[in-house]
Amino acid sequence: MTVTELTESSLGEALTRRALDHALAGTTDMAPETLLVPLSYYRDDEVLAREEDLLRRTPLAVAPSAQIPEVGDYVVRAVMGTSLLITRDANGTAHVLLNYCRHRGARPAEGCGNSRRFTCPYHAWNYDSGGQLVGLPGQEGFEGMDPAEHGLVELPNEERHGFVWCVLTAGAELDLDAHLGTLGAELDQFDYASFGYLTEREFESGVNWKGALEAFAEAYHFPYVHGESLIGLNTVANTSVHDPFGRHHRLGFPLNWITALADDPTGSWDARDNMGVIYWVYPNLILANSPVGVELIEILPAGDPTRCSVRHGWMARVPATTDEERAGYEAIYEGVHAAVRDEDFTMLPSCGEGVRQGQHDHMVIGRNEIGVQHMIRVLAGELGLDLDRA
């Protein structure tokens, strides 16, 4: 791709030049002022209750399309404590089904794989990949029951921009255009549906879910928390370009080699080759793009203001076709997962403790932490919390 073509892209020359200028000058995008945030934002049960309500009404990206690429592929995952069965039916259409049997509630599916049918382990009711009830033993016991009325409950869902989105409340409205706004076209530039899904791991951590997300919205901590790993070694500390896309945002964290463009502008000006391009897809998903792939970091509250669940997946920009390539991607994932688990999420529980035990009034978020400020302002606004009355 040439520089001229890239100027058409929001990930092209103009974005890279902003990051290069910051890297050369030792500057960063800044918010107009510091932001004070009351500790209650992170520790109140009342705030958590509002968040849980909000999260059940807001479209969430519950699986990347690349995780269920083929007809019959499925994956089961818990989101906010709800078991979802995400499928691709015989026509190639994705579905998000509540994974609760219509007989007496057991889970018809577990794990992931490829199957045309899901048989509930309790009494063997049988569902197809669209959730229709297609068979049950001892039918004479259920005379008068219409099987068509007893399929798995489907949640409002839609597959777009390389993800399967859903709202966790049956019958709720799902308006993805309204939810994503200009971010939809931005995501399309990556063509995530063509990526190769590798793997994911889940864990819980003793930190507020918003506080955990904030760790992926600033480069201020990079030299201290990631000083010994590739994130610290490859990036320009405390430097970022920040662009809101409505409630969502994009951050660019310049990589050290970006400065080579100052001497030799014939190199690649594609932002993905010169910076970590990180999106916050409101409310709970981080997409951290590197030149070779993308980390998917989903963070949600886990029943307590200072407890969260984390799912950390990875997809390759070019799907592996050989064992050797796959092993290479696995090594990359092990590296980035170690940074998240052993660096960010080793630090973050101490923030949870500070929030629980602290007797100060407020946190203070710097002008340099412009992405963190954006997250807090957006979520406080959606939750109806007045930060200025902190």
- CB count within 10 Å of CB 333 equals 21
Residue 141 contact among ligand FES, Fe ion, none, beta carbon within 5 to 8 Å by kind: none
| 96 CB-contact burial (10 Å; exposed 0-12 / middle 13-18 / buried 19+) | buried
Residue of the chain from 73, 159, 214, 344 that contacts Fe ion (CB under 5 A): 344
Residue 101 contact among ligand FES, Fe ion, none, beta carbon within 5 to 8 Å by kind: ligand FES
Residue 122 contact among Fe ion, ligand FES, none, beta carbon within 5 to 8 Å by kind: ligand FES
x/- map, 311-340, Fe ion, by CB under 5 A? ------------------------------
Residue 104 contact among ligand FES, Fe ion, none, beta carbon within 5 to 8 Å by kind: ligand FES
Residue 103 contact among Fe ion, ligand FES, none, beta carbon within 5 to 8 Å by kind: ligand FES
Give me the helix-helix angle, 45-55 and 370-383, nearest 10°. Answer: 90
Residue 209 contact among Fe ion, ligand FES, none, beta carbon within 5 to 8 Å by kind: none
Nearer to ligand FES, 107 or 377 (CB): 107
Nearer to ligand FES, 123 or 337 (CB): 123
Nearer to ligand FES, 150 or 367 (CB): 150
CB of 149 to Fe ion, least distance (A): 49
Nearer to Fe ion, 13 or 344 (CB): 344
Nearer to ligand FES, 39 or 152 (CB): 152
Residues 176 and 171: their CA atoms lie apart, in Å, by 15
x/- map, 154-193, Fe ion, by CB under 5 A? ----------------------------------------
* CB-based contacts of 22-27 (< 8 A; 24+ apart in sequence): 22/236, 22/239, 22/240, 22/241, 22/254, 23/236, 23/239, 23/254, 23/258, 23/259, 24/259, 24/262, 26/239, 27/239
The answer to whether the CB of 314 falls within 8 A of the CB of 290 is no
Nearer to ligand FES, 50 or 123 (CB): 123
Amino acid present at 1: M
Residue 195 contact among ligand FES, Fe ion, none, beta carbon within 5 to 8 Å by kind: none
Which regions of the chain does DSSP assign to beta strands (E)?
35-38, 60-64, 73-79, 82-88, 94-98, 112-114, 117-119, 126-128, 133-135, 157-160, 163-166, 196-205, 241-245, 248-254, 275-281, 285-289, 293-304, 307-316, 362-365
Nearer to ligand FES, 103 or 307 (CB): 103
CB of 87 to ligand FES, least distance (A): 17
Residue 185 contact among Fe ion, ligand FES, none, beta carbon within 5 to 8 Å by kind: none
Residues 288 and 279: their CA atoms lie apart, in Å, by 7
Interacting residues toward ligand FES by CB under 6 A = 101, 103-106, 120, 122-125
Stretch in the footprint of Fe ion (CB under 5 A) among 113-121, 254-262, 344-352, 376-384: 344-352
Q: How many Å from the N-terminal Cα to the C-terminal Cα in the chain? A: 50
Burial 157-169 (b: 16+ CB within 10 A, else e): bbbbbbbbbbbbe
| 3-class state of residue 205 by DSSP | strand
Nearer to Fe ion, 73 or 295 (CB): 295
- Where on the chain is the footprint of Fe ion (CB under 5 A)? 344
